[in-house]
Amino acid sequence: MPTAAGKLSWLGLLPIALAAVVRVVASYLSFEPLDGYTIPLWVAGVVWFLWGPRVMLWALPVTLFLAFMVPLPWRIEYQLSEPMQRIATAASCWLLQLLGQPAVARGLTIVVDEAKLEVEQACSGLRLFMGFFAVSAAYVLIVRRPLWQSIVIMLAAAPIAIVSNILRITATGLVYRYSGGEWARKVSHDVAGWAMILLASALLTSLLWYLNRLVVEVRAVRTYGLSEGDRAPR
């Protein structure tokens, strides 16, 4: 359907044309992420062209959400993964020591007794962070909450993902310590990966439960039509 006035908004062709030009440039430079980021731009142009700028602005948050479909550029992913690897290594080693395990951190490797647990780039927790950030953004877009609660939910995505990843690495270290190599490797990459997602979801649910009870909305009670004697407590 076109706009309410029955006319197409021809200015919407501008972002569509821009998306086409960017795709050509990205293909020439072999820069796939840039090609992927043209998807929200193209969708915004189509919505603008068919339904006008007001509908385009109304649908802009959902349109921008499509950017989560595009993987991060390799350089940015590498720059973010390295500090997250170091944080995960240090925190997991500290937690293992707190649990009475002979854990020592050597670079990005945790040595637990004779077992060596390498915190590789895939174990940095960045992918969980991006996925969980997308889930938090989707929740904020779908569920109506006060602005301050939406901000808290988005800010909590990072620490929840980091804590979940630290607990996963710690659990894997315990399995390495008491069970051995091959079975622990399967647990760390399969079972622990799924458990990490469930743990992050549980932490988000706990945060939502807490926010619901942090501020209690008080509603005024109408007393129209009542005499002073009826209003007084008995």
pLDDT in tens, 55-81: 999 999 889 888 888 887 777 777 888
Q: Answer whether residue 17 shows pLDDT above 90.
A: yes
In this prediction, residues 121-135 reach a mean pLDDT of 76
Question: Has residue 131 got a pLDDT over 70?
Answer: yes
Average pLDDT over residues 192-218: 81
Task: Give the span between the Cα atoms of 10 and 50, in whole angstroms.
Answer: 9
Judged against a pLDDT cut of 70, whether residue 43 lies above it is answered with yes
Tell the burial category of 175 from Cβ atoms under 10 Å away from its Cβ (0-12, 13-18, 19+): buried
Residue 48 and residue 56 in contact, taking contact as beta carbons nearer than 8 Å: yes
Q: Which of 29-33, 114-118, 146-150, 177-181 has the lowest mean pLDDT?
A: 177-181
**pLDDT, average across residues 158-167:** 86
Calculate the CA 16 to chain-centre distance. Answer: 28
**pLDDT tier, 185 (very low <50, low <70, confident <90, very high otherwise):** low
pLDDT at 181: 59
pLDDT at 224 over 60: no
pLDDT at 199 over 80: yes
User: Across the strands, what pairs with 105?
Assistant: 110
Please give the average per-residue pLDDT across 121-141, as a whole number. Answer: 79
Q: Which residue has the higher pLDDT, 195 or 17?
A: 17
Q: Which two tokens stand for residue 220?
A: 């005024």
Mean pLDDT over residues 193-197, rounded?
76
pLDDT at 16: 92
Stretch 35-42: mean pLDDT, rounded?
88
Question: Are residues 67 and 40 in contact, defined by beta-carbon separation less than 8 angstroms?
Answer: yes
Provide the percentage of residues in the chain whose pLDDT is more than 90: 9
User: Over 70: is that where the pLDDT of 180 sits?
Assistant: no
pLDDT at 18: 92
Q: What is the pLDDT of residue 46?
A: 92
Q: How far apart are CA 125 and CA 77, in angstroms?
A: 11
For 103, left (φ over 0), alpha (ψ -120 to 50), or beta? beta
